[in-house]
Amino acid sequence: GQSLEQPSEVTAVEGAIVQINCTYQTSGFYGLSWYQQHDGGAPTFLSYNALDGLEETGRFSSFLSRSDSYGYLLLQELQMKDSASYFCAVRGPYGQNFVFGPGTRLSVLP
C-alpha cells in the first residue's frame, strides 16, 4: 500500500527551529513535496526534493534520503504566522501529488 507518516502535532516558540519528519512507503516515487495549509485555506507549496540532499528556500529547508524513504522540513526563525498544518506528499510520474501525509499541526507560541 501507500503510506506516509508524520507527527500529528509539534509545538515550538517564536524564533526557534523545528523539524517535521516524514517517512514514506509507496509504489513509485518521483519526489517529495511539502505544503503549508492554514485553517480553511488551500495548501501552498513550500519545497520539493527529487534527489537526496538539502534544498533551502529562505527560512524553510527540506531534506530527502531516498535510501531511507525519509525526508524532513526544517523551519527556522519561527514566526506566529507559521502556525499551520504541514503536509508531505509523494509525487508520481506525471507530477501529481498522489499521496499526502496525514499532516503535522504546528503551533508557534509567543
- Residues contributing to the site for another protein (CB under 8 A): 31, 33, 35, 41-45, 48, 87, 89, 91, 94-103
- Residue 65 beta carbon to another protein: minimum distance, rounded to whole angstroms: 21
CB 95, min distance to another protein, A:
4
Give the nearest distance from C-beta 37 to another protein in angstroms.
9
- Sequence-distant (6+) residues with CB within 8 A of 62 are 32, 34, 46, 47, 48, 49, 54, 55, 71, 72, 73, 74
Three cell numbers written together for 11: 509545538
